[in-house]
Amino acid sequence: MVDRPESPADETQWRAAGDRIQTLLDSCATSGPAAHDRAQQLVREVAGLYGAGLQRIMAQAGPQLAERLATDDLVASLLLVHGLHPHDVRRRVGDALYRVRPYLGSHGGDVELVEVAGGTARLRFQGSCKSCPSSAVTLELAVQDAIRAAAPEIIDIEVVTAEHPDVIPAQSLLAHLHPDGGTEWHPVPELADLAPGEVAGFLVADATVLACRVDGQLLAYRDRCPVCDDTLAGAQLHRELLQCPRCGTEFDVTQAGAGPGCHLEPLPLLTRDGALSVALPRAMLGVLA
């Protein structure tokens, strides 16, 4: 696996460039259809020019340079737009899963890419993830972002089990493509300062995230007890068991927060572009407290 090159400091700006371009195009529509059509044509011409330039660069780049370009988030996204990415879809999906494996491993599981057929990727969970009651949450929050960015041509994801495949439709899995769903990644470098066995709450985008460190692993959860529906503020950690200070229920944080007939809600905690980040579902941002 080739090391991913460092991203520029203004990475957040280019990640939102597509939205800004669309906003500008929409504003042109207020000047009439002709102005809107000219603006769209301008974007197509500029995109075509950059695409032609990228094509020449990739044609002259050696294998090592091409590999580094393909693992840079910004360059890779442009290569995908112009159909110039040197890796096939299976390789890109595999690389995306490789990047989320640390999070899955922190919950005692792993994921295997079974196959990519057409616009469908079939995955198989291993370890505790395959039977964990929050495996769907783990998939949607941790895997969707990585696969969407690496392989936008993937439409459906099937989670294959020993009994039967559980198909998660694209409109659910890729809900964050729509304005009323999906996740937002937020940098949380302060979580790295947690000592072994320590548990604490952190305010992230007006939402409280409960984080702890167990056996060298950082874990993050929604600050809400599923039994008493109250905050977990003041919770104590006894080895891998987190005890709610209000109802006394214990949850195994190393097994995706499993408790007696219920479980905590895990939040993906990954290092993205060199920064420790947590994913918060947009639908939860108004209720996490």
Question: What mean pLDDT, rounded, does the chain reach?
Answer: 77
pLDDT tens across 148-169, in order? Answer: 778 888 888 887 765 544 443 4
Domain identity same for 209 and 280: yes
> What percent of the chain shows pLDDT beyond 70?
74
How far apart are alpha carbons 277 and 200 in whole angstroms? 16
pLDDT for the residue 167: 43
Does the structure show a pLDDT above 80 at 142?
no
Q: 145: domain CATH number?
A: 3.30.300.130
Distance of CA 111 to the CA centre of its chain: 15
Neighbours of 70 (CB within 10 A): 22
Residue-number span of the structural domain to which 25 is assigned: 17-82
- Name the most confidently modeled range: 117-121, 158-162, 173-177: 117-121
Query: Which of 197, 202, 249 has its CA nearest to residue 223?
Result: 202
Whether residue 8 lies inside any domain: the answer is no
The C-alpha atoms of residue 195 and residue 204 are separated, in whole angstroms, by 19
Number of domains comprising the chain:
3
Work out the average pLDDT over 41-62: 87
Residue 246, pLDDT above cutoff 50: yes
**Final residue in a domain of this structure, among 82, 97, 125:** 82
Tell me if 248 is assigned to some domain. yes
Does residue 6 lie within any of the structural domains? no
In a domain, 10, yes or no: no
Rg (CA), the chain: 21
Question: Where is average pLDDT lowest: 9-13, 114-118, 208-212?
Answer: 9-13
Give the domain-ending residue among 122, 154, 176.
176
Pick the last residue of a domain from 50, 82, 114: 82
